[in-house]
Amino acid sequence: MDFSIPADLVSLRDRTRDFVRNQVIPFENDPRRTAHGPTDDLRRELNALARKAGLLAPQVEERWGGLALSHVGRAVVFEEAGYSMLGPIAMHCAAPDEGNMHLMGIVGTEAQQSRWLSRLASAEIRSCFCMTEPAPGAGSDPGLLQSVAVRDGSDFVINGHKWLITGADGAGMAIIMARTLVDGSDVGATMFMTDLPTPGFEIERLLDSIDSSFCGGHAEVRFRDLRVPESAVLGEVGGGFRYAQVRLVPARLTHCMRWLGAARRAHDIAVDYANRRSAFGSRLIDHQGVGFALADNEIDLHSARLSIWHTAWLLDQGQRGNRESSMAKVLCSEAIYRVVDRSMQAMGGLGLTADTEVSKIFRDVRAFRVYDGPSEVHRWSLARRLGRSH
């Protein structure tokens, strides 16, 4: 493994860093940044700036306007994008759009890519991924999937209930996971795509959640006789769970990349404060209680970055990376949380306020330990592998 960064990627990293710091961060106090995420009006304005800078959707293929970044390239660039929670929104490499674009680029037909991926990559629309369900449906256990698609001639009719669907409000298309019945037989889960808004796709409410960095927030969605043609099947009928791994394995990692940038931002704010603020005759940084905590931040940031880069390198070598992606998700989500928690503690009362980004970052990185698989589920999965190996 060669961890040196090629010169062209160094240049792109530096361009991204300058873009985020000089053009994106000034929007952080914009009133269009709401409790349910940035509004689409703000998103479009930021997308226009990224497009002008040549940084819009850098992860997609060049034919869709991107830079075709490798996984290692994404690790470098996405960390810089994440230095502001608005950065991934501006560059259109935030969840769930980034994961959906990745999936459609691999699994989608030419017709599907022309219809949906082209519009998504250009930021004409954004998207959502409808998988999670309230109890007793699928959460961490996808085998509990309750939403059902029934073949009706050349169409499928979908009924079901989803929640915590990020970005559903205002999305221009959706990918839907549902159990599939063909001639009365359950053939497994299938992914379906549909334009939005459309009859049968109903947003029942927006959930008030701890985080606030995703466009459209998180919605509860109901499918009532939602009809989609067979041409809208993503992949193949019954192949949904297999294709879900195509999306979820790298998507866990790109979450780690973006939140690493946010954690670094919180750390930088805390270090700056600890160097300026004095108490009991010394700068805060000179008190071991604060200085050692910030030193631990450096260790966690370094460890998380190495885990991300190693897993990204494996994916670039064509390896599946399921196990490594799970380990990176646990290591990074918990290390990143510790970094931001320590940063907030080091800043005392200021860290609790909205006067800096730290408290906002804290709320979002706390949620990161839950979505895309809670730490406990990934540990359980890793433990099962250990059990099978003996």
Q: What type of residue is 241?
A: F
Pairing assessment for the beta strands 278-279 and 33-34 based on DSSP bridges: unpaired
- One digit per residue, the tens of pLDDT, for the chain of length 390 reads 677 899 999 999 999 999 999 999 999 999 999 999 999 999 999 999 999 999 999 999 999 999 999 999 999 999 999 999 999 999 999 999 999 999 999 999 999 999 999 999 999 999 999 999 999 999 999 999 999 999 999 999 999 999 999 999 999 999 999 999 999 999 999 999 999 999 999 999 999 999 999 999 999 999 999 999 999 999 999 999 999 999 999 999 999 999 999 999 999 999 999 999 999 999 999 999 999 999 999 999 999 999 999 999 999 999 989 999 999 999 999 999 999 999 999 999 999 999 999 999 999 999 999 999 999 999 999 999 998 876
Q: What is the pLDDT of residue 100?
A: 98
Q: From CA 34, how far away is CA 249, in angstroms rounded?
A: 30
Task: For residue 40, give the nearest of 101, 124, 99 by alpha carbon.
Answer: 124
Pairing assessment for the beta strands 148-152 and 155-166 based on DSSP bridges: antiparallel
Q: What is the pLDDT of residue 323?
A: 94
| Cβ contact 314:324 at 8 Å | yes
Q: What is the pLDDT of residue 388?
A: 86
Instruction: Tell me the whole-structure pTM to 2 decimals.
Output: 0.97
**3-class DSSP assignment, residue 30:** coil
DSSP codes joined into one string, 167-206: T-TT-SEEEEEEEEEETTEEEEEEEEEEESS-TTEEEEEE
**3-class DSSP assignment, residue 252:** helix
Domains, the chain = 7-94 (1.10.540.10), 127-238 (2.40.110.10), 241-388 (1.20.140.10)
Q: What is the pLDDT of residue 3?
A: 76
| Cβ contact 354:390 at 8 Å | no
In which element (H, E) is residue 148 found?
strand 148-152
**CA distances (Å), origin 89, targets 47, 78, 281, 329, 368:** 8, 11, 43, 21, 17
Spatial neighbors of 64 by CB under 8 A, at least 6 apart, are 57, 105, 113, 117, 118, 121, 122
Burial label for 321, CB within 10 Å (0-12, 13-18, 19+), is buried
**CA distances (Å), origin 92, targets 43, 89, 96, 371:** 9, 5, 10, 20
